[in-house]
Protein backbone atom coordinates (compact mmCIF):
# COMPACT_ATOMS: atom_id res chain seq x y z
CA UNK A 1 0.00 0.00 0.00
CA UNK A 2 2.80 2.37 0.87
CA UNK A 3 4.55 1.46 -2.37
CA UNK A 4 1.39 2.15 -4.38
CA UNK A 5 0.87 5.45 -2.59
CA UNK A 6 4.52 6.28 -3.25
CA UNK A 7 4.12 5.54 -6.94
CA UNK A 8 0.95 7.64 -7.09
CA UNK A 9 2.72 10.47 -5.32
CA UNK A 10 5.58 10.27 -7.78
CA UNK A 11 3.13 10.33 -10.69
CA UNK A 12 1.51 13.46 -9.28
CA UNK A 13 4.95 15.01 -8.85
CA UNK A 14 5.86 14.12 -12.41
CA UNK A 15 2.55 15.55 -13.59
CA UNK A 16 3.24 18.84 -11.83
CA UNK A 17 6.73 18.95 -13.32
CA UNK A 18 5.29 18.31 -16.77
CA UNK A 19 2.83 21.17 -16.31
CA UNK A 20 5.61 23.44 -15.10
CA UNK A 21 7.79 22.48 -18.04
CA UNK A 22 4.88 23.01 -20.43
CA UNK A 23 4.25 26.45 -18.95
CA UNK A 24 7.91 27.32 -19.28
CA UNK A 25 7.88 26.22 -22.91
CA UNK A 26 4.75 28.29 -23.51
CA UNK A 27 6.31 31.32 -21.89
CA UNK A 28 9.41 30.84 -24.04
CA UNK A 29 7.29 30.60 -27.18
CA UNK A 30 5.39 33.75 -26.28
CA UNK A 31 8.67 35.59 -25.60
CA UNK A 32 10.14 34.39 -28.86
CA UNK A 33 7.01 35.38 -30.78
CA UNK A 34 7.19 38.83 -29.21
CA UNK A 35 10.81 39.16 -30.25
CA UNK A 36 9.97 37.97 -33.75
CA UNK A 37 7.28 40.62 -33.98
CA UNK A 38 9.89 43.24 -33.16
CA UNK A 39 12.44 41.74 -35.54
CA UNK A 40 10.61 39.97 -38.36
CA UNK A 41 13.88 39.13 -40.10
CA UNK A 42 15.44 37.62 -36.99
CA UNK A 43 17.30 34.34 -36.87
CA UNK A 44 16.53 31.71 -34.25
CA UNK A 45 16.44 33.09 -30.72
CA UNK A 46 17.98 29.92 -29.35
CA UNK A 47 21.55 31.21 -29.60
CA UNK A 48 24.75 30.20 -27.86
CA UNK A 49 25.43 32.10 -24.65
CA UNK A 50 28.89 32.95 -26.03
CA UNK A 51 27.45 34.33 -29.27
CA UNK A 52 28.62 37.71 -30.54
CA UNK A 53 26.17 37.85 -33.44
CA UNK A 54 24.83 41.06 -31.89
CA UNK A 55 28.18 42.40 -30.75
CA UNK A 56 30.91 42.13 -33.36
CA UNK A 57 33.56 44.28 -35.02
CA UNK A 58 34.60 44.43 -38.68
CA UNK A 59 38.24 44.59 -39.69
CA UNK A 60 37.99 45.79 -43.28
CA UNK A 61 40.91 44.48 -45.29
CA UNK A 62 40.34 45.85 -48.80
CA UNK A 63 43.56 47.86 -48.47
CA UNK A 64 45.53 44.80 -47.40
CA UNK A 65 43.94 41.53 -48.49
CA UNK A 66 42.28 43.38 -51.39
CA UNK A 67 45.66 44.48 -52.74
CA UNK A 68 46.39 40.79 -53.32
CA UNK A 69 43.46 40.54 -55.77
CA UNK A 70 44.58 39.75 -59.30
CA UNK A 71 43.36 43.05 -60.79
CA UNK A 72 44.22 45.33 -57.88
CA UNK A 73 46.60 48.26 -58.02
CA UNK A 74 45.73 51.09 -55.67
CA UNK A 75 47.67 54.33 -55.94
CA UNK A 76 47.79 56.65 -52.95
CA UNK A 77 44.80 58.72 -54.03
CA UNK A 78 42.66 55.62 -54.53
CA UNK A 79 43.69 54.19 -51.16
CA UNK A 80 42.70 57.42 -49.43
CA UNK A 81 39.32 57.48 -51.19
CA UNK A 82 38.65 53.87 -50.20
CA UNK A 83 39.75 54.48 -46.62
CA UNK A 84 37.41 57.48 -46.31
CA UNK A 85 34.53 55.55 -47.88
CA UNK A 86 34.99 52.65 -45.47
CA UNK A 87 35.18 55.06 -42.57
CA UNK A 88 31.94 56.67 -43.75
CA UNK A 89 30.32 53.24 -43.86
CA UNK A 90 31.36 52.76 -40.25
CA UNK A 91 33.77 49.81 -40.18
CA UNK A 92 35.59 49.40 -36.88
CA UNK A 93 39.09 49.03 -38.33
CA UNK A 94 40.78 49.25 -41.70
CA UNK A 95 43.76 47.02 -42.28
CA UNK A 96 46.62 48.19 -44.51
CA UNK A 97 49.36 46.39 -46.40
CA UNK A 98 52.56 46.04 -44.39
CA UNK A 99 54.66 49.23 -44.54
CA UNK A 100 57.64 46.88 -44.84
CA UNK A 101 56.37 45.64 -48.21
CA UNK A 102 57.68 48.65 -50.13
CA UNK A 103 58.63 52.28 -49.68
CA UNK A 104 55.34 53.43 -51.23
CA UNK A 105 53.39 51.10 -48.92
CA UNK A 106 55.06 52.79 -45.95
CA UNK A 107 54.24 56.28 -47.27
CA UNK A 108 50.64 55.29 -47.97
CA UNK A 109 50.30 53.86 -44.47
CA UNK A 110 51.56 57.11 -42.94
CA UNK A 111 49.24 59.19 -45.15
CA UNK A 112 46.14 57.23 -44.14
CA UNK A 113 47.11 57.40 -40.46
CA UNK A 114 47.08 61.21 -40.76
CA UNK A 115 43.53 61.39 -42.16
CA UNK A 116 41.94 61.54 -38.71
CA UNK A 117 39.49 58.73 -39.42
CA UNK A 118 37.01 57.59 -36.80
CA UNK A 119 37.92 53.94 -37.32
CA UNK A 120 41.18 52.40 -36.17
CA UNK A 121 43.98 52.08 -38.71
CA UNK A 122 46.00 48.90 -38.37
CA UNK A 123 48.59 47.16 -40.47
CA UNK A 124 49.44 43.53 -41.16
CA UNK A 125 53.04 42.32 -40.77
CA UNK A 126 55.12 39.19 -40.60
CA UNK A 127 56.19 37.98 -37.19
CA UNK A 128 59.55 39.66 -37.52
CA UNK A 129 61.18 42.44 -35.49
CA UNK A 130 62.29 44.40 -38.59
CA UNK A 131 58.68 44.59 -39.79
CA UNK A 132 57.48 45.53 -36.33
CA UNK A 133 59.93 48.42 -36.00
CA UNK A 134 58.84 49.90 -39.33
CA UNK A 135 55.14 49.45 -38.49
CA UNK A 136 55.16 51.22 -35.12
CA UNK A 137 56.80 54.29 -36.65
CA UNK A 138 53.97 54.92 -39.16
CA UNK A 139 51.41 56.06 -36.62
CA UNK A 140 49.08 53.06 -36.84
CA UNK A 141 46.66 52.26 -34.02
CA UNK A 142 47.40 48.56 -34.19
CA UNK A 143 49.60 45.86 -35.65
CA UNK A 144 48.39 42.46 -36.87
CA UNK A 145 51.15 39.86 -36.68
CA UNK A 146 50.92 36.53 -38.50
CA UNK A 147 53.04 33.41 -38.88
CA UNK A 148 52.29 30.06 -40.51
CA UNK A 149 51.81 27.10 -38.17
CA UNK A 150 50.67 24.29 -40.47
CA UNK A 151 53.13 21.58 -41.43
CA UNK A 152 52.94 22.81 -45.04
CA UNK A 153 54.01 26.35 -44.20
CA UNK A 154 56.59 25.30 -41.62
CA UNK A 155 58.22 22.98 -44.15
CA UNK A 156 57.79 24.81 -47.44
CA UNK A 157 57.45 28.50 -46.46
CA UNK A 158 59.46 29.83 -43.53
CA UNK A 159 61.01 26.55 -42.35
CA UNK A 160 60.70 27.29 -38.60
CA UNK A 161 59.49 25.00 -35.81
CA UNK A 162 56.88 25.84 -33.16
CA UNK A 163 59.53 26.70 -30.56
CA UNK A 164 60.98 29.36 -32.85
CA UNK A 165 57.51 30.65 -33.80
CA UNK A 166 56.49 31.00 -30.15
CA UNK A 167 59.68 32.81 -29.21
CA UNK A 168 59.39 35.19 -32.17
CA UNK A 169 55.74 35.91 -31.35
CA UNK A 170 56.53 36.81 -27.74
CA UNK A 171 59.38 39.09 -28.82
CA UNK A 172 57.33 41.01 -31.39
CA UNK A 173 54.25 41.27 -29.16
CA UNK A 174 56.29 42.58 -26.23
CA UNK A 175 57.96 45.18 -28.45
CA UNK A 176 54.71 46.47 -29.98
CA UNK A 177 53.02 46.58 -26.58
CA UNK A 178 55.92 48.63 -25.20
CA UNK A 179 55.03 51.30 -27.78
CA UNK A 180 51.45 51.50 -26.51
CA UNK A 181 50.03 50.05 -29.74
CA UNK A 182 47.28 47.45 -30.09
CA UNK A 183 48.55 44.00 -31.12
CA UNK A 184 47.04 40.85 -32.59
CA UNK A 185 48.79 37.53 -33.18
CA UNK A 186 47.38 35.12 -35.74
CA UNK A 187 48.39 31.70 -36.88
CA UNK A 188 48.31 31.18 -40.63
CA UNK A 189 46.65 28.11 -42.15
CA UNK A 190 45.07 27.44 -38.77
CA UNK A 191 42.72 24.67 -39.88
CA UNK A 192 45.58 22.55 -41.20
CA UNK A 193 47.65 23.13 -38.07
CA UNK A 194 47.94 20.76 -35.14
CA UNK A 195 45.36 21.64 -32.47
CA UNK A 196 47.82 21.21 -29.62
CA UNK A 197 50.29 23.56 -31.35
CA UNK A 198 47.54 26.13 -31.88
CA UNK A 199 46.22 26.13 -28.34
CA UNK A 200 49.72 26.18 -26.88
CA UNK A 201 50.85 29.27 -28.78
CA UNK A 202 47.54 31.05 -28.24
CA UNK A 203 47.84 30.50 -24.49
CA UNK A 204 51.37 31.88 -24.49
CA UNK A 205 50.52 35.07 -26.43
CA UNK A 206 47.39 35.60 -24.35
CA UNK A 207 49.49 35.57 -21.17
CA UNK A 208 51.94 38.03 -22.76
CA UNK A 209 49.00 40.43 -23.18
CA UNK A 210 48.00 40.31 -26.83
CA UNK A 211 44.75 42.18 -27.59
CA UNK A 212 43.47 39.59 -30.04
CA UNK A 213 44.40 36.17 -31.30
CA UNK A 214 43.56 35.32 -34.88
CA UNK A 215 42.36 32.21 -36.68
CA UNK A 216 43.02 32.15 -40.42
CA UNK A 217 41.49 29.70 -42.87
CA UNK A 218 44.16 30.63 -45.38
CA UNK A 219 43.18 28.12 -48.06
CA UNK A 220 39.41 28.09 -47.52
CA UNK A 221 39.29 24.48 -46.40
CA UNK A 222 37.16 24.87 -43.26
CA UNK A 223 33.45 24.24 -42.95
CA UNK A 224 31.08 25.82 -40.39
CA UNK A 225 31.12 22.82 -38.05
CA UNK A 226 34.93 22.86 -37.88
CA UNK A 227 34.89 26.62 -37.36
CA UNK A 228 32.46 26.39 -34.47
CA UNK A 229 34.45 23.66 -32.77
CA UNK A 230 37.78 25.47 -33.03
CA UNK A 231 36.51 28.90 -31.99
CA UNK A 232 34.50 27.46 -29.12
CA UNK A 233 37.53 25.52 -27.91
CA UNK A 234 39.76 28.58 -28.22
CA UNK A 235 37.21 30.71 -26.37
CA UNK A 236 37.71 28.44 -23.37
CA UNK A 237 41.50 28.81 -23.53
CA UNK A 238 42.12 32.56 -23.96
CA UNK A 239 40.60 35.64 -22.39
CA UNK A 240 41.46 38.10 -25.20
CA UNK A 241 39.39 38.87 -28.28
CA UNK A 242 39.27 36.44 -31.21
CA UNK A 243 39.58 37.57 -34.83
CA UNK A 244 38.74 35.30 -37.76
CA UNK A 245 39.92 35.44 -41.37
CA UNK A 246 38.23 33.12 -43.85
CA UNK A 247 39.00 32.51 -47.52
CA UNK A 248 36.27 31.66 -49.98
CA UNK A 249 37.89 28.93 -52.08
CA UNK A 250 35.05 26.51 -51.29
CA UNK A 251 32.28 29.08 -50.92
CA UNK A 252 31.98 28.96 -47.12
CA UNK A 253 33.57 32.27 -46.12
CA UNK A 254 30.46 34.17 -44.99
CA UNK A 255 28.87 31.10 -43.41
CA UNK A 256 32.11 30.43 -41.54
CA UNK A 257 32.29 34.05 -40.37
CA UNK A 258 28.75 33.91 -38.98
CA UNK A 259 29.39 30.59 -37.27
CA UNK A 260 32.60 31.95 -35.72
CA UNK A 261 30.59 34.76 -34.11
CA UNK A 262 28.08 32.26 -32.80
CA UNK A 263 30.93 30.38 -31.15
CA UNK A 264 32.40 33.47 -29.47
CA UNK A 265 34.64 35.24 -31.99
CA UNK A 266 34.63 39.03 -31.74
CA UNK A 267 36.18 40.35 -34.98
CA UNK A 268 35.64 39.34 -38.63
CA UNK A 269 37.88 40.28 -41.59
CA UNK A 270 36.10 41.43 -44.76
CA UNK A 271 36.92 43.13 -48.05
CA UNK A 272 34.72 45.08 -50.44
CA UNK A 273 33.23 42.69 -53.03
CA UNK A 274 35.28 39.95 -51.32
CA UNK A 275 38.41 40.74 -53.32
CA UNK A 276 41.67 39.18 -52.17
CA UNK A 277 44.08 36.36 -52.83
CA UNK A 278 42.52 33.82 -55.21
CA UNK A 279 38.74 33.87 -54.49
CA UNK A 280 39.13 36.33 -51.65
CA UNK A 281 37.45 36.56 -48.25
CA UNK A 282 33.95 37.47 -46.95
CA UNK A 283 32.58 40.42 -48.89
CA UNK A 284 31.67 43.40 -46.76
CA UNK A 285 28.21 43.60 -48.33
CA UNK A 286 27.54 39.88 -48.10
CA UNK A 287 28.64 39.71 -44.48
CA UNK A 288 26.53 42.76 -43.57
CA UNK A 289 23.51 41.19 -45.30
CA UNK A 290 23.95 38.02 -43.22
CA UNK A 291 24.27 39.98 -39.98
CA UNK A 292 21.35 42.26 -40.89
CA UNK A 293 19.15 39.18 -41.24
CA UNK A 294 20.21 38.10 -37.76
CA UNK A 295 19.82 41.45 -35.98
CA UNK A 296 18.57 44.31 -38.15
CA UNK A 297 18.48 46.88 -35.34
CA UNK A 298 22.08 46.29 -34.26
CA UNK A 299 23.45 46.48 -37.79
CA UNK A 300 21.44 49.57 -38.70
CA UNK A 301 22.44 51.36 -35.51
CA UNK A 302 26.14 50.72 -36.11
CA UNK A 303 26.72 50.99 -39.86
CA UNK A 304 25.78 53.50 -42.55
CA UNK A 305 24.10 50.97 -44.80
CA UNK A 306 23.19 53.46 -47.51
CA UNK A 307 26.91 54.03 -48.11
CA UNK A 308 27.49 50.41 -49.15
CA UNK A 309 26.70 50.90 -52.82
CA UNK A 310 29.08 53.86 -53.08
CA UNK A 311 32.04 52.00 -51.60
CA UNK A 312 31.35 48.96 -53.79
CA UNK A 313 31.13 51.14 -56.92
CA UNK A 314 34.41 52.80 -55.93
CA UNK A 315 36.29 49.53 -55.49
CA UNK A 316 34.70 47.88 -58.54
CA UNK A 317 35.88 50.78 -60.66
CA UNK A 318 39.36 50.70 -59.10
CA UNK A 319 39.89 47.00 -59.88
CA UNK A 320 37.96 47.09 -63.18
CA UNK A 321 35.28 44.51 -62.39
CA UNK A 322 31.50 44.55 -62.65
CA UNK A 323 29.41 44.15 -59.52
CA UNK A 324 27.95 40.61 -59.87
CA UNK A 325 24.27 40.37 -60.84
CA UNK A 326 23.60 38.29 -57.72
CA UNK A 327 25.71 40.38 -55.34
CA UNK A 328 23.97 40.61 -51.95
CA UNK A 329 22.02 43.87 -51.62
CA UNK A 330 23.58 45.78 -54.54
CA UNK A 331 23.43 43.26 -57.40
CA UNK A 332 20.88 44.35 -60.00
CA UNK A 333 18.85 41.18 -59.35
CA UNK A 334 18.93 41.46 -55.54
CA UNK A 335 15.44 42.97 -55.24
CA UNK A 336 13.99 41.99 -58.62
CA UNK A 337 10.79 39.92 -58.52
CA UNK A 338 9.58 38.18 -61.63
CA UNK A 339 7.27 35.24 -60.90
CA UNK A 340 3.61 36.22 -60.79
CA UNK A 341 2.87 34.62 -57.43
CA UNK A 342 5.92 36.36 -55.93
CA UNK A 343 4.95 39.73 -57.37
CA UNK A 344 1.41 39.49 -55.98
CA UNK A 345 2.70 38.75 -52.49
CA UNK A 346 5.43 41.39 -52.65
CA UNK A 347 2.92 44.06 -53.60
CA UNK A 348 0.74 43.10 -50.64
CA UNK A 349 3.55 42.59 -48.10
CA UNK A 350 7.26 42.84 -49.09
CA UNK A 351 8.36 40.61 -46.19
CA UNK A 352 6.80 37.62 -47.96
CA UNK A 353 9.76 37.35 -50.32
CA UNK A 354 12.32 39.82 -48.93
CA UNK A 355 14.47 39.10 -45.89
CA UNK A 356 16.25 42.43 -46.46
CA UNK A 357 14.39 45.72 -46.79
CA UNK A 358 15.93 47.47 -49.82
CA UNK A 359 15.10 50.96 -48.52
CA UNK A 360 17.39 50.38 -45.52
CA UNK A 361 20.30 50.25 -47.97
CA UNK A 362 19.03 53.05 -50.21
CA UNK A 363 17.96 50.49 -52.81
CA UNK A 364 14.65 49.91 -54.62
CA UNK A 365 12.72 46.76 -55.40
CA UNK A 366 11.72 46.08 -58.98
CA UNK A 367 8.79 43.95 -60.05
CA UNK A 368 9.54 42.62 -63.52
CA UNK A 369 6.22 42.36 -65.31
CA UNK A 370 7.31 41.94 -68.93
CA UNK A 371 7.76 38.18 -68.84
CA UNK A 372 5.63 35.14 -69.54
CA UNK A 373 5.68 34.53 -65.78
CA UNK A 374 4.00 37.82 -64.89
CA UNK A 375 0.75 37.94 -62.91
CA UNK A 376 -2.19 40.28 -63.33
CA UNK A 377 -1.79 41.77 -59.84
CA UNK A 378 1.61 43.17 -60.81
CA UNK A 379 0.19 44.53 -64.07
CA UNK A 380 -2.69 46.10 -62.14
CA UNK A 381 -0.23 47.82 -59.83
CA UNK A 382 1.60 49.24 -62.86
CA UNK A 383 -1.62 50.48 -64.46
CA UNK A 384 -2.42 52.37 -61.26
CA UNK A 385 1.05 53.91 -61.27
CA UNK A 386 0.32 55.15 -64.80
CA UNK A 387 -3.05 56.55 -63.70
CA UNK A 388 -5.01 54.25 -66.03
CA UNK A 389 -8.49 53.19 -64.95
CA UNK A 390 -8.91 49.53 -65.86
CA UNK A 391 -11.17 46.90 -64.28
CA UNK A 392 -9.72 43.63 -63.04
CA UNK A 393 -11.05 41.83 -66.12
CA UNK A 394 -9.49 44.42 -68.40
CA UNK A 395 -6.16 44.14 -66.56
CA UNK A 396 -6.33 40.35 -66.92
CA UNK A 397 -6.91 40.72 -70.65
CA UNK A 398 -3.93 43.08 -70.92
CA UNK A 399 -1.85 40.62 -68.91
CA UNK A 400 -2.68 37.81 -71.30
CA UNK A 401 -1.61 40.03 -74.19
CA UNK A 402 1.71 40.78 -72.44
CA UNK A 403 2.26 37.04 -71.89
CA UNK A 404 1.68 36.33 -75.59
CA UNK A 405 4.25 38.94 -76.53
CA UNK A 406 6.64 37.73 -73.82
CA UNK A 407 6.54 34.21 -75.25
CA UNK A 408 8.55 35.65 -78.14
CA UNK A 409 10.88 37.76 -75.96
CA UNK A 410 10.83 39.44 -72.57
CA UNK A 411 9.13 42.83 -72.75
CA UNK A 412 10.64 46.00 -71.33
CA UNK A 413 8.70 48.21 -68.95
CA UNK A 414 8.20 50.59 -71.88
CA UNK A 415 6.64 47.74 -73.88
CA UNK A 416 4.30 46.87 -71.00
CA UNK A 417 3.30 50.50 -70.61
CA UNK A 418 2.51 50.62 -74.33
CA UNK A 419 0.15 47.64 -74.02
CA UNK A 420 -1.62 49.22 -71.06
CA UNK A 421 -2.00 52.57 -72.83
CA UNK A 422 -3.40 50.84 -75.93
CA UNK A 423 -5.90 48.88 -73.82
CA UNK A 424 -6.95 51.97 -71.89
CA UNK A 425 -7.41 54.12 -74.99
CA UNK A 426 -9.24 51.40 -76.93
CA UNK A 427 -11.65 50.65 -74.12
CA UNK A 428 -12.30 54.36 -73.60
CA UNK A 429 -13.11 54.68 -77.33
CA UNK A 430 -15.33 51.59 -77.35
CA UNK A 431 -12.97 49.51 -79.48
CA UNK A 432 -12.76 45.73 -79.05
CA UNK A 433 -9.09 45.34 -78.23
CA UNK A 434 -9.56 41.61 -77.63
CA UNK A 435 -9.24 40.86 -81.34
CA UNK A 436 -5.68 40.34 -82.53
CA UNK A 437 -6.11 42.46 -85.63
CA UNK A 438 -7.55 45.40 -83.68
CA UNK A 439 -4.87 45.23 -80.98
CA UNK A 440 -2.03 44.89 -83.49
CA UNK A 441 -3.27 47.89 -85.48
CA UNK A 442 -3.69 50.09 -82.39
CA UNK A 443 -0.39 48.93 -80.93
CA UNK A 444 1.46 49.77 -84.15
CA UNK A 445 -0.16 53.20 -84.23
CA UNK A 446 0.92 53.79 -80.62
CA UNK A 447 4.51 52.78 -81.39
CA UNK A 448 4.66 55.04 -84.44
CA UNK A 449 3.21 57.95 -82.49
CA UNK A 450 5.67 57.33 -79.70
CA UNK A 451 8.51 57.38 -82.21
CA UNK A 452 7.25 60.64 -83.73
CA UNK A 453 7.00 62.21 -80.28
CA UNK A 454 10.53 61.08 -79.45
CA UNK A 455 11.87 62.65 -82.65
CA UNK A 456 10.01 65.88 -81.91
CA UNK A 457 11.43 65.97 -78.41
CA UNK A 458 14.97 65.47 -79.73
CA UNK A 459 14.51 68.25 -82.30
CA UNK A 460 13.12 70.60 -79.63
CA UNK A 461 16.08 69.87 -77.36
CA UNK A 462 18.51 70.51 -80.22
CA UNK A 463 16.80 73.77 -81.08
CA UNK A 464 16.87 74.88 -77.45
CA UNK A 465 20.57 74.08 -77.26
CA UNK A 466 21.23 76.49 -80.18
Sequence ranges of the domains in the chain: 57-319, 336-460
Burial of residue 402, with CB atoms counted within 10 A of its CB: 0-12 exposed, 13-18 middle, 19 or more buried: buried
Q: What is the pLDDT of residue 334?
A: 86
SS3 337: strand
> Region 127-134: what's the mean pLDDT?
97
Whole-prediction pTM:
0.79
Q: CA–CA separation, 189 vs 218, rounded Å?
A: 5
Specify the higher pLDDT residue, 21 or 146: 146
357, 342 Cβ separation under 8 angstroms? no
Mean pLDDT rounded to a whole number for the chain? 86
Question: Is a pLDDT exceeding 70 seen at residue 19?
Answer: no
pLDDT digits (tens, 9 = 90+) for 300-309: 999 999 999 9
pLDDT grade for 17, boundaries at 50, 70 and 90? very low
SS3 188: strand
SS3 161: coil
Question: Is a pLDDT exceeding 50 seen at residue 16?
Answer: no
pLDDT digits (tens, 9 = 90+) for 354-380: 899 999 999 988 777 777 878 787 787
Candidates 134, 156, 132; CA nearest to 144 is: 132
> What percentage of the chain has pLDDT greater than the value 70?
86
pLDDT grade for 435, boundaries at 50, 70 and 90? confident
DSSP E strand stretches across 31-116: 57-60, 93-96
Q: What is the pLDDT of residue 464?
A: 53
pLDDT grade for 463, boundaries at 50, 70 and 90? low
Q: What is the pLDDT of residue 453?
A: 55
337 is catalytic: no
366, 403 Cβ separation under 8 angstroms? no
Specify the higher pLDDT residue, 266 or 433: 266
337, 347 Cβ separation under 8 angstroms? no
Q: CA–CA separation, 446 vs 399, rounded Å?
A: 18
pLDDT grade for 1, boundaries at 50, 70 and 90? very low
Specify the higher pLDDT residue, 266 or 426: 266
Q: What is the pLDDT of residue 404?
A: 83
pLDDT grade for 383, boundaries at 50, 70 and 90? confident
CA 392 to chain centre: 40
Question: Is a pLDDT exceeding 70 seen at residue 243?
Answer: yes
Task: From the options 3.90.1150.180, 3.20.20.80, 3.40.50.300, 3.20.20.70, give the CATH code of 57-319.
Answer: 3.20.20.70
365, 337 Cβ separation under 8 angstroms? yes
Catalytic pick among 245, 337, 342, 424: 342
Candidates 89, 67, 94; CA nearest to 269 is: 94
Q: What is the pLDDT of residue 340?
A: 67
Task: Write the DSSP symbol of residue 353.
Answer: T
> Region 101-121: what's the mean pLDDT?
98
pLDDT digits (tens, 9 = 90+) for 311-327: 999 999 999 999 999 99
Q: CA–CA separation, 126 vs 293, rounded Å?
A: 36
Continuous segment of H or E residues that includes residue 456: helix 436-465
Specify the higher pLDDT residue, 40 or 95: 95
SS3 256: helix
Q: CA–CA separation, 55 vs 261, rounded Å?
A: 9
CA 357 to chain centre: 14
Q: What is the pLDDT of residue 253?
A: 98
Question: Is a pLDDT exceeding 80 seen at residue 77?
Answer: yes
Phi, psi dihedrals of residue 269, rounded to the nearest 5°: -85, 135
Q: Given the DSSP bridges, would you call strands 267-270 and 212-217 parallel, antiparallel or unpaired?
A: unpaired
pLDDT grade for 181, boundaries at 50, 70 and 90? very high
SS3 411: coil
Q: CA–CA separation, 260 vs 150, rounded Å?
A: 20
User: In b/e form, how buried is each residue of 31-52, taking b as 16+ CB within 10 angstroms?
Assistant: eeeeeeeeeebbeeeeeeeeeb
Which residues does residue 125 pair with via DSSP β-bridges, in sequence order?
Answer: 145
Side-chain-side CA neighbours of 26 within 13 Å: the count stands at: 6
Q: What is the pLDDT of residue 332?
A: 84
> Region 10-38: what's the mean pLDDT?
42
Q: CA–CA separation, 265 vs 48, rounded Å?
A: 12
Question: Is a pLDDT exceeding 60 seen at residue 196?
Answer: yes
Q: Which of 88-97, 118-127, 390-399 has the lowest mean pLDDT?
A: 390-399
Side-chain-side CA neighbours of 403 within 13 Å: the count stands at: 16
Winning range, highest mean pLDDT, from 35-39, 58-62, 456-460: 58-62
Amino acid sequence: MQRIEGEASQEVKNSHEAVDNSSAVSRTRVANQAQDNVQPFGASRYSDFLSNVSNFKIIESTLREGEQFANAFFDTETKIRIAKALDNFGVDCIELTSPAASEQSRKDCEAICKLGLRCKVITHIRCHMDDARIAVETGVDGVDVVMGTSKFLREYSHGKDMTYITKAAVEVISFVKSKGIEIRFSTEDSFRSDLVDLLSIYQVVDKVGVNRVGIADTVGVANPRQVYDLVRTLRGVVGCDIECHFHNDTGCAIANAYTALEAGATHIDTSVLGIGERNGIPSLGGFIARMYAANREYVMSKYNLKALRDVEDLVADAVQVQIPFNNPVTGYCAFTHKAGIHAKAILAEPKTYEIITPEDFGMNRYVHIGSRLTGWNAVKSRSKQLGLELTDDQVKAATNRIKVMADIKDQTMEDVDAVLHVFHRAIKNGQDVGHDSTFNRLFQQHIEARGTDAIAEEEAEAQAAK
